[in-house]
Amino acid sequence: MHYWLVKSEPTVFSIEDLSRQRNQTTGWEGVRNYQARNFLRAMQLGDKALFYHSNAKPPAVAGSVEIVRAAYPDETAWDPSSDYHDPRASPDNPVWSRVDVRLVEIFPRQVSLDELRGLKSLAGMELLRRGSRLSVQPVTAAEFRTIEKLART
């Protein structure tokens, strides 16, 4: 099993929005960065991800999700009416990928970015690197467990 962190702005799609989805499952679409797309393509069924609210006050890890469908073409890329449209993409040349995620848990408390920065054990975490803006990124098993534990205290 691998671990990940996925970011979403809560004003666009929050973990609470996910909790209201049918089967608490949704497609994680709209990723338009090649490195983040490649991370999506590396995700496997059963992998876990931290659900991070970015561009929030404060930005924080809000819960966790499980990958329930491995990467497949993100059809929003070839839909001209979509906010995620990419004119280079088509059904014959999908370019972008998505995965399906299912809610595992809304954490009892959100773990803020400042709190994460204050922990030596998380010093190497991609999220905390200066200039890191990836919307999908790997997380180590130890980082995942540390954040889960913090969220439950």
Domain ranges of the chain: 3-151
Strand 97-112's sheet: what is its strand order? 25-28, 97-112, 60-73, 48-53, 3-8, 136-139
And the tokens for 25?
């499952």
What's residue 26's pLDDT?
Answer: 96
Per CATH, domain 3-151 is 3.10.590.10: yes
pLDDT in tens, 112-128: 999 999 999 999 999 99
pLDDT in tens, 72-96: 999 999 999 999 998 999 899 999 9
Main-chain dihedrals φ then ψ at residue 11, nearest 5 degrees: -75, -15
Evaluate if residue 132 carries a pLDDT over 90.
Answer: no
What distances in angstroms separate CA 86 from CA 80, 82, 116, one per listed residue? 8, 9, 35
Task: Report pTM.
Answer: 0.95
Please give the torsion angle defined by the CA atoms of residues 140, 142, 144 and 150, in that order, rounded to the nearest 10 degrees: -150
CB contact at 8 A, 134 and 4: no
CB contact at 8 A, 105 and 63: yes
